[in-house]
Structure 1
Amino acid sequence: MVSQALRAIALLRPSAGRFLAGLVFSAGASLCSFPVIAFQIAPLGSEFESKLTNEPEASLARTAGRLGILIKGPVHEEITQLGMGCPVEPPSGLVSNAECGVRDRPFASAYVIYGVRWNDLPPFRLSSEEGNCTYLGKSCNVSQTIRFSTQPLCWYCLFKDAETKARSRRIVGCSKEKGVLRGNVMTRSHFGDLQFLHAMASEEGVHPGATRAKVLDWLEFAWKVSSREIKADTLLRDLRIAAIQEHFGCTEWRVVDLYVLGQQDKLGRYLHQVAFGSVLHTVQDSFAGAHASREGQAPGGLCPGTTRDRPPRVVEFHTYGAQDGSLHDEHDSRDAMTRVNAADRWPEAVEATRNLAQYYEDNATWSDVQPYMQCLFELADDRRDSSPGEAYRRR
């Protein structure tokens, strides 16, 4: 069973830029109940991030290999570097030139890249209501902040447990409704009530207008942190933004705790850059087919109140719970990002990132950028309630 499962292992190291297939471990490895896995985690962070957080990348890569997890290519990182000035001729040159996805490109700061990664890998702690998890004989250390690279077995166990439970029960943070599960920021963002961090609906059958409202509330919050309109020590429960009140109003968390838990002293002064990276992640995700379906063509014209082109409108926000993870990841890939219709046009995710980077460099407030954000998430006339999306549904 071990050898058969290990044949499925492939580990992508962004520094190498290609899949290393056929990774083999000895039959004596302690993985006797190891399942075949088709799950991807975020790529390795920047070298600077490793030093900032004291989280050596070797632990991440080694444990990912043991578990048979694919480490994703740095698609969000590449989009961000492109949007912030990494020089590639668009887009025909982009298809064959992946240099902007190489680790530690200098165009986006390490703090912005940390924020771009945050939506996938937010730090968190476990409360007594959120349980514990044991995998391969290793339990979570609930007294410490949990990240994949500091407690990888715990992180993975919590992720897989939530993936299973989310099929029959809702994972939430503040709801007191009976029958729901209390989750942490990581499990809630991937499977529960915080899926709007990824421009997705929290469950099937949700009207797209409701999801759009939550996405825009999140972007208002994150942008205001990035523009310093919201201060680091502000309690989330005190913010008069509907989605923040609904999903974080029961906590004692400050803004800085949400974003850089465990590293507030080191990273707190760069919170505005981290929050901007988080804004970019949500917007970039909205152009990934497994996250949201958009019209095939942009409607033409400019976003009202801006000088920016209107992107294709949103037809449906998808939800992750009933999706096939491998199909989802296929449409989060670099190949999917570089599929463009016109030879002289950037991918929409890159174009949106470039525009937002310009707003950020211009010190735009939320009122300045709000019309463009609303336009980015304009709904199509022929819109649909949320579903996994037939192309991504688990069979």
Structure 2
Amino acid sequence: MNFAKVLLQWIALGTLALSWGWSAAFQIGPLGTRHEERLTNESNSTLADIAGRLGVLVKAPVHEEITHLGKWCSVERANLASDTYCSGRDVGFASPYVIYGVRWNDLPPFRLEEGQGNCDYLGRKNVCRNQTIRFSTQPACWYCLFKDAERKAQSKSIVGCNRTANSIQGNLMTRSHFGDLQFLHGMANAADIHPVSTRVQILEWLEFAWKVSSKEIGPQTQLKTIDNPTIKQHFGCTEWTVADLYLLGRQDAGSGLITQIREIAFGSVLHTVQDSFAAAHAEREPHQTAEQCEGTAFTTPARIVEFHAYGSQDGALHDHVDSREAMAADAQQRWPEAVEVTRNLFELHADGAKWADASTYLQCVFTLSDHRRASSPGHAYRRIVSTHER
């Protein structure tokens, strides 16, 4: 989901070149800020080191660039297509904690339940160590689990709570990209879901994350105790706290991350909202409205016609419209809507807006079109099923 895509060449028992697409959003880079790199606090496990040893190939850090632009990184709008200054790893406009949060939706830390670590996608057993898994610290494990879930999601639902006969237990990463948490990326969790249902899930997720960012929900609050239907549905069977969700493995006071969880949660809000402006994630009406969001000084974005579902999408087609080129295509006439909305959210956040105030604007951002329809892969992104798949 992510508008994120990572192309990984994994060298194991020879050279194997691999690439994939998933329910990513605007793409992210594999490298976080240098500050984030230091906070992993694990020897030989930073993404830079992994890139050097394993040959990681990456796409442009589009989410990061949108976020810096939203914090008024210096670039002329007319030059956006060619001026990549604001995509720099440590450009410094948005804080490293906000960037951590923006990346979290695609790369959340997670642990495996008993029996989940025997990933055999690459013909190797026990590639996962019994500790918090991050792309930066266990890349072979992360990749194996990702590809294994991609395959299984073709026939099974990947869930956390609410198991059924046709579902399998997922982890936070696989659920986000292929399962019941795809709303983190502004998408429907499956085909044929009414857009009102998906909109409710997205807004309830944003309510939770915004309330963490505004101190209305504390980091030690257990998710199952929060009065939020979407959080209860997807996390109510766990004992996780808010800190566990966002900072697993580094939720100790010594890491310093927990003191910045407000910024991290705000970053995850930005990711979900930005994703909803990627064409492979949601179809919006062709043009912005000239209307104003009621009760705000902000313009109503183009209304949503359909939330797409990733399951039957062609990964390559999905990734093409999640690229930097797609994001910057209209910059000659106006800032991309993802940038404009990000700027407005930064303004609300800086003003200390509580959810009661922020919700007015976010509901407007996710206004549905009068021509709304149920979720599908989207005609332009539909995967052609080959003969051997039938």
State if a TM-score over 0.5 links the two structures: yes
Report the AA paired with residue 192 of structure 2: G
Equivalent residues of 1:127, 1:142 under 8 A apart: no
Unaligned runs of 5+ in 1: 1-9, 13-22
What residue number does 2:290 align with? 300
What residue number does 1:122 align with? 108
2:130 pairs, out of 136, 140, 143, with 143
Equivalent residues of 1:290, 1:331 under 8 A apart: yes
Equivalent residues of 1:173, 1:193 under 8 A apart: yes
What residue number does 1:213 align with? 200
What residue number does 1:19 align with? none
Shift, 1:131, TM fit: 4.8
Residue 391, structure 1, aligned to residue 377, structure 2:
no
Equivalent residues of 1:31, 1:136 under 8 A apart: no
What residue number does 1:132 align with? 118
Shift, 1:391, TM fit: 1.1
Unaligned runs of 5+ in 2: 1-5, 385-390
Report the AA paired with residue 124 of structure 1: F
In 2, the alpha carbon distance for the partners of 1:326 and 1:172 equals 25
1:204 pairs, out of 165, 187, 191, with 191
What residue number does 1:176 align with? 163
What residue number does 1:103 align with? 89
Equivalent residues of 2:72, 2:93 under 8 A apart: yes
What are the superposed Cα offsets for residues 88-117 of structure 1, whole Å, 9 maximum, x if unpaired? 122x12111110001101111111100000
Equivalent residues of 2:21, 2:318 under 8 A apart: no
In 1, the alpha carbon distance for the partners of 2:224 and 2:287 equals 40
Secondary structure, in 3 states, of the residue corresponding to 2:381?
Answer: coil
Residue 325, structure 1, aligned to residue 319, structure 2:
no
Shift, 1:279, TM fit: 0.3
- Residues 1:313 and 1:37: Cα distance change in structure 2 (over 3 Å): same
Shift, 1:72, TM fit: 2.0
Q: How does 1:342-361 map to 2 (within 5 A)?
A: 343-361=332-350
What residue number does 1:185 align with? 172
In 2, the alpha carbon distance for the partners of 1:293 and 1:50 equals 35
Equivalent residues of 1:290, 1:389 under 8 A apart: yes
In 2, the alpha carbon distance for the partners of 1:364 and 1:42 equals 28
Secondary structure, in 3 states, of the residue corresponding to 1:181?
Answer: strand
In 2, the alpha carbon distance for the partners of 1:345 and 1:293 equals 19
Equivalent residues of 1:138, 1:153 under 8 A apart: no
Shift, 1:379, TM fit: 0.4
In 2, the alpha carbon distance for the partners of 1:150 and 1:37 equals 20
Equivalent residues of 1:227, 1:272 under 8 A apart: yes
What are the superposed Cα offsets for residues 253-296 of structure 1, whole Å, 9 maximum, x if unpaired? 00000001001121111100100000000000000001100000
Shift, 1:330, TM fit: 1.0
Residue 227, structure 1, aligned to residue 210, structure 2:
no
Shift, 1:242, TM fit: 0.8
Equivalent residues of 1:39, 1:70 under 8 A apart: no
In 2, the alpha carbon distance for the partners of 1:108 and 1:58 equals 21
Residue 271, structure 1, aligned to residue 261, structure 2:
yes
Secondary structure, in 3 states, of the residue corresponding to 1:244?
Answer: helix
What residue number does 2:3 align with? none
Equivalent residues of 1:222, 1:276 under 8 A apart: yes
Q: How does 1:78-97 map to 2 (within 5 A)?
A: 78-90=65-77, 92-97=78-83
In 2, the alpha carbon distance for the partners of 1:383 and 1:77 equals 30
In 1, the alpha carbon distance for the partners of 2:92 and 2:10 equals 35
In 1, the alpha carbon distance for the partners of 2:270 and 2:349 equals 11
In 2, the alpha carbon distance for the partners of 1:314 and 1:24 equals 39
Equivalent residues of 2:28, 2:62 under 8 A apart: no
- Residues 1:392 and 1:70: Cα distance change in structure 2 (over 3 Å): farther
Equivalent residues of 1:42, 1:121 under 8 A apart: no
What are the superposed Cα offsets for residues 301-339 of structure 1, whole Å, 9 maximum, x if unpaired? 101111100000001101111111121111111001011
Total equivalences in the alignment = 367
Q: RMSD over aligned Cα, in angstroms?
A: 2.1
Secondary structure, in 3 states, of the residue corresponding to 1:107?
Answer: coil
What are the superposed Cα offsets for residues 233-264 of structure 1, whole Å, 9 maximum, x if unpaired? 00000001110010000000000000010011
Report the AA paired with residue 76 of structure 1: H
Give the alignment's TM-score, normalised by structure 2.
0.89
In 2, the alpha carbon distance for the partners of 1:310 and 1:348 equals 10
- Residues 1:71 and 1:63: Cα distance change in structure 2 (over 3 Å): farther
What are the superposed Cα offsets for residues 43-70 of structure 1, whole Å, 9 maximum, x if unpaired? 11111110011341234324652xxx64
Shift, 1:343, TM fit: 3.0
What residue number does 1:314 align with? 304
What residue number does 2:358 align with? 369
Equivalent residues of 2:158, 2:170 under 8 A apart: yes
Shift, 1:344, TM fit: 4.2
- Residues 1:161 and 1:351: Cα distance change in structure 2 (over 3 Å): same
- Residues 1:58 and 1:213: Cα distance change in structure 2 (over 3 Å): same
1:37 pairs, out of 6, 15, 19, with 19
What residue number does 2:144 align with? 157
- Residues 1:391 and 1:60: Cα distance change in structure 2 (over 3 Å): farther
Which deviates more, 109-118 or 343-352? 343-352
Percent identity at matched positions? 56
Secondary structure, in 3 states, of the residue corresponding to 1:251?
Answer: coil
In 1, the alpha carbon distance for the partners of 2:382 and 2:79 equals 33
Which deviates more, 123-132 or 311-320? 123-132
In 2, the alpha carbon distance for the partners of 1:203 and 1:349 equals 24
Secondary structure, in 3 states, of the residue corresponding to 1:49?
Answer: helix
What are the superposed Cα offsets for residues 341-385 of structure 1, whole Å, 9 maximum, x if unpaired? x73411000000000000011111001111100010000010111
Report the AA paired with residue 296 of structure 1: P
